[in-house]
Structure 1
Amino acid sequence: MMSFSDFLRNRVLLVDFLAIIFGISSWISINGLWVELPVLVNQLPEGWSLPSYLSTIVQLANIGPISYSIFRALAPRSQTPQNIIILVLLVLGTGASLGLALGWKITSQIAGAERSTMLFVFVFLLSLVDCTSSVLFLPYMGLFRDVYLNSYLVGEGLSGFIPSIAALAQGVGGNPVCKNVTKDDGTISLQPVSEEPRFTAQDFFLFLMGMMILSLSAFVCLEWLPLARREKISGASLMGERRESKDSTESDSQSSRKNIQVDKEEEVGGHHNSGGVLDTSDSQLVIPESDTEHGVPLLLFMLGAVCFLANGALPSIQSYSCLPYGNTVYHLVATLNAMANPLMAFFSMFVACKSKRIVCLLTGLSFLTTGYILATALTSPAPMWGELGGGLTVVAWVVVGALFSYVKVAIAGLCRDAGALFKCGVATQIGSACGALTAFLLVNQTTLFQEINRNDAVP
């Protein structure tokens, strides 16, 4: 395990901080929307099926990364204005966040049914930003020394953690309780009543807009602040060469140092990577570049499968899995599951996984736990395991969130070593899109998932 002194060695903490804040913008809008769903499903006409609509809208926004991929293939690499595109996306995300805060309640009649029109429009715009970030932000961080990639991934995880903290502070009003309610005709009847959250959904969305502004500022600093620019690979390579020449008293020549770098049995305080910069993480197992490259298709397949579930299918059925146990369980699942993501990303900075075999094992374990979650959704509205089922459901969602997060970070690191970060982003979006489309069809076109009135949920 890497010590804290090794973690601080040869890095600029300000750049780490900026990378984290920049990473928050990657998915904070959509993650914030998911943790706010326990509040939104009570107030919008789609009810329980709202998550499936939103998942599909999010994946429709893949037109963004597809368009960028085509542009990237046609335009000369030297003429691709990556930094300008990122800047435009962050400005668009900030504006769409404001629109969401002001217009999320506006509905209209579509095909004879009441629909949350403005919510869908602004969610699409925010999804356009977040989906495109998968093929833009990771390659952009690849311009910096390898030690800052995990900092960005921690920020990407915080894009779920921060909204979760805000949602916990907001509350969801708890489970319905029976109270005497006076009707308009003066009669009194016993009806289920839920308490109001501590602050409104509009306040929550304004908070997300504030975080987007911070991320925009962090990107501007990363791109144009001289201290940050020096940490890009071109400048970092020179620093690495100076450090290597100072510590190479046991080496006879530059070629011998190169042989040591690619030898798994030797330690040089880091591992070889495609950028030519030494990573000072002692806990990471050195893998030859050729071995990593040969395993890229398998890694991309596993990443696509994980994103199929984590980003597409599971969010669409979360309400069906949780609501038989009441609003409180749904609220805990939505928030704690999102909080597990950054915690595991931070954990991976100190205990990195460089073994494809372990990645496969953890992926299989996450699929088994997903099977239990699917069972709770299919048996809904009847709760599984009675009163014990609510606690087991919360644990299952947290475990799945943690495992999926760690696997995604591990695969991103291996793909970085193989120079396949762009392919990593593409696999993420393809898997997510397929998962959302599959879940939308199953939820809205079949009777596999049964809906009941929210007030009839088990208290």
Structure 2
Amino acid sequence: MALLVHLLAAAFGMGSWMAVNGLWVELPLIVNTLPEGWDLPSYLTVIIQLANVGPLLVTLMHKLRPGYLREAAVIYAILTIGVLACVLLAFFWRVTTVVGRAPHSTAFFIITFFLSLVDCTSSVTFLPFMSGLPAKYITTYFIGEGLSGFVPGLVALAQGVGMASCVNTTGNATQNLTGVGEEWMLQTQYLPPNFSPEVFFSFLAAMMCVSLAAFIALKRLPRVSFDLAADTLVPELSASAPTGLDNPGLEPDGGSPLQHQTKEKNRNQPVVANSNFSVYELGFIYFLVVWVNMAANGLLPSVQTYSCMPYGNLAYHLSAALSSVANPVACIVAMFFPNRSLLFLGVLGVLGTAFGSYNMAMAALSPCPLLQSSPVGLAIIVLSWVFFTGAFCYVKVMIGVILRDKSHSALVWCGAASQLGSLVGSVTMFPLVNTYKLFKSGDFCNTKCPL
């Protein structure tokens, strides 16, 4: 029975960020189909920020009308919305409408908003529900939360990417000095992946159904079925780690009720680090929180297409999928090899910033970045995105652990700083990408770059 509860807790946790992480790893296959093209990620970062209205409303209702919202009813609602939205996405992701004399992916954007609403709201509903279970099952829930980024990344790798080939096509007849001739041009054609985006979105719907079924089973299991042994979480495991290019939006490590209750239950555990910091140290910690979330959830995701697509679809596909896998891997590393040294976290933040700066520089040089035609350039940009994601994820997890041990209010301010950084990053990049057009897209076959 204990094994069954562990499996159900992990399956329930997978539903927390599955949909949004799935969208990000699928972008390399749909960015060439939807009319926004390379600007598509910048739209998604803003849409996900708007979806934070969900947890805001839930929090306000708990404050203004305590007991009015039933926790189980809210979870049933958001998981059901998640299943329906994934199903609709599989059928309507290609549908466009004309807005402002230009076609836009209105169906994709609307469905993405509801998927983001589900995942953002899960941060303030799933964890309080899990707080009613013994601590060892909460550990399993966090493993499932990490799998919500890991599993879509693996499926995307299995899906493969439509490799590009350049085909000569004949244009309209033109009149030139030698007479009438045919104008030849190269056209980029993408080979189909191993399975279509529709199948991938159907897989996301199935996984959301699994999460919903797991929640129903957890609700129906009698309390006597739970093993009430006095197992407790180690401090490093009790901090929720973000998942997936995670959500470029609400971070689930921003001070959940579960974390505070777990802290109260584990008073008998030794304190592993001094939680008393000077004003300057706290200022540095919160600066790291703002900067890491600004870069990882707003600035860089908005231009990932521009930094990767000039190297080909394969580069974008691998950077998106492997970054999604690297995120939970970095969280696991933080769990088993924690380092609370502010100096170490600062150095790691500088390294992550260096990788992010390289990614941003390649986006600024688009469509002719460094080593564009070399396999070395492709390998460097993919590894740079993976290390950027992994380094910043480790920093976010360890800062969450440090602030959790300090106080409840410290975690609250951590969540606020996370949201501030994500919001500023996404709002800053949107006009730069879509209004001022500071980043240039190119064509794989027809863009001529100097050697």
Do they superpose with TM above 0.5?
yes
Match of 1:91 among 80, 89, 92: 80
User: Are residues 1:340 and 2:326 paired?
Assistant: yes
Structure 2: which amino acid aligns with 1:219? Answer: F
TM-aligned CA deviation for residue 103 of structure 1: 0.9
Are the structure 2 counterparts of residues 424 and 288 from structure 1 closer, same or farther at C-alpha, using a change threshold of 3 Å? same
Match of 1:59 among 44, 49, 52: 49
* TM-score normalized with structure 1 length: 0.78
Aligned length: 408
Tell me, yes or no, if the aligned pair for 2:14 and 2:145 is still in contact at 8 Å.
Answer: yes
What secondary structure is seen at the aligned counterpart in 2 of 1:311? helix
How many Å separate the matches in 1 of 2:128 and 2:283?
Answer: 18
How many Å separate the matches in 1 of 2:414 and 2:224?
Answer: 25
Following superposition of structure 1 onto structure 2, how do residues 114-193 of structure 1 map, counting pairs within 5 Å?
114-174=103-163, 176-180=164-168, 191-193=187-189
How many Å separate the matches in 2 of 1:436 and 1:220?
Answer: 36
TM-aligned CA deviation for residue 69 of structure 1: 2.3
Quote the residue 2:90 is aligned against: 101
Are the structure 2 counterparts of residues 349 and 144 from structure 1 closer, same or farther at C-alpha, using a change threshold of 3 Å? farther
Match of 2:206 among 192, 210, 219: 210
Question: Which is further off, 308-317 or 286-295?
Answer: 286-295
Quote the residue 1:400 is aligned against: 388
How many Å separate the matches in 1 of 2:3 and 2:267?
Answer: 17
Q: Deviations over 1:377-433 (max 9, x none)?
A: 111111214523221111110001111222222233334433465555444333322
How many Å separate the matches in 1 of 2:206 and 2:268?
Answer: 34
TM-aligned CA deviation for residue 362 of structure 1: 2.2
What secondary structure is seen at the aligned counterpart in 1 of 2:166? strand
Quote the residue 2:426 is aligned against: 436
Following superposition of structure 1 onto structure 2, how do residues 217-296 of structure 1 map, counting pairs within 5 Å?
217-226=213-222, 230=226, 239=230, 274-277=263-266, 286-287=272-273
User: Are residues 1:75 and 2:60 paired?
Assistant: no
TM-aligned CA deviation for residue 90 of structure 1: 1.1
How many Å separate the matches in 1 of 2:291 and 2:132?
Answer: 28
Tell me, yes or no, if the aligned pair for 1:20 and 1:154 is still in contact at 8 Å.
Answer: yes
Quote the residue 1:255 is aligned against: none
Tell me, yes or no, if the aligned pair for 1:34 and 1:315 is still in contact at 8 Å.
Answer: no
Are the structure 2 counterparts of residues 80 and 360 from structure 1 closer, same or farther at C-alpha, using a change threshold of 3 Å? farther
User: Are residues 1:199 and 2:195 paired?
Assistant: yes
How many Å separate the matches in 2 of 1:302 and 1:90?
Answer: 33
Tell me, yes or no, if the aligned pair for 2:310 and 2:444 is still in contact at 8 Å.
Answer: no
Are the structure 2 counterparts of residues 317 and 189 from structure 1 closer, same or farther at C-alpha, using a change threshold of 3 Å? closer
Quote the residue 2:312 is aligned against: 326
User: Are residues 1:313 and 2:309 paired?
Assistant: no
Tell me, yes or no, if the aligned pair for 1:108 and 1:116 is still in contact at 8 Å.
Answer: yes
Quote the residue 2:289 is aligned against: 303
Are the structure 2 counterparts of residues 354 and 221 from structure 1 closer, same or farther at C-alpha, using a change threshold of 3 Å? farther
* TM-score normalized with structure 2 length: 0.80
TM-aligned CA deviation for residue 322 of structure 1: 0.4
Aligned-pair identity in percent equals 41
RMSD of aligned C-alpha atoms? 3.4
What secondary structure is seen at the aligned counterpart in 1 of 2:83? helix
Are the structure 2 counterparts of residues 39 and 90 from structure 1 closer, same or farther at C-alpha, using a change threshold of 3 Å? same
Q: Deviations over 1:158-214 (max 9, x none)?
A: 22221111111222212x2234558899x8976432211121111110000111111
Are the structure 2 counterparts of residues 324 and 294 from structure 1 closer, same or farther at C-alpha, using a change threshold of 3 Å? closer
Structure 1 gap ranges (5+): 1-10, 242-271
Structure 2: which amino acid aligns with 1:378? Answer: A
What secondary structure is seen at the aligned counterpart in 2 of 1:275? helix
Quote the residue 2:177 is aligned against: none
Q: Deviations over 1:231-277 (max 9, x none)?
A: 6xxx56xx369xxxxxxxxxxxxxxxxxxxxxxxxxxxxxx962222
Quote the residue 1:268 is aligned against: none
Question: Which is further off, 120-129 or 284-293?
Answer: 284-293
What secondary structure is seen at the aligned counterpart in 2 of 1:193? strand
User: Are residues 1:366 and 2:355 paired?
Assistant: no
Question: Which is further off, 286-295 or 379-388?
Answer: 286-295
Tell me, yes or no, if the aligned pair for 2:289 and 2:418 is still in contact at 8 Å.
Answer: yes
TM-aligned CA deviation for residue 290 of structure 1: 5.7
How many Å separate the matches in 2 of 1:56 and 1:84?
Answer: 28
Match of 1:382 among 345, 368, 389: 368
What secondary structure is seen at the aligned counterpart in 1 of 2:338? coil
How many Å separate the matches in 2 of 1:228 and 1:316?
Answer: 49
Tell me, yes or no, if the aligned pair for 1:21 and 1:218 is still in contact at 8 Å.
Answer: yes
How many Å separate the matches in 1 of 2:283 and 2:122?
Answer: 22
Structure 2 gap ranges (5+): 174-181, 233-260
Are the structure 2 counterparts of residues 391 and 137 from structure 1 closer, same or farther at C-alpha, using a change threshold of 3 Å? same
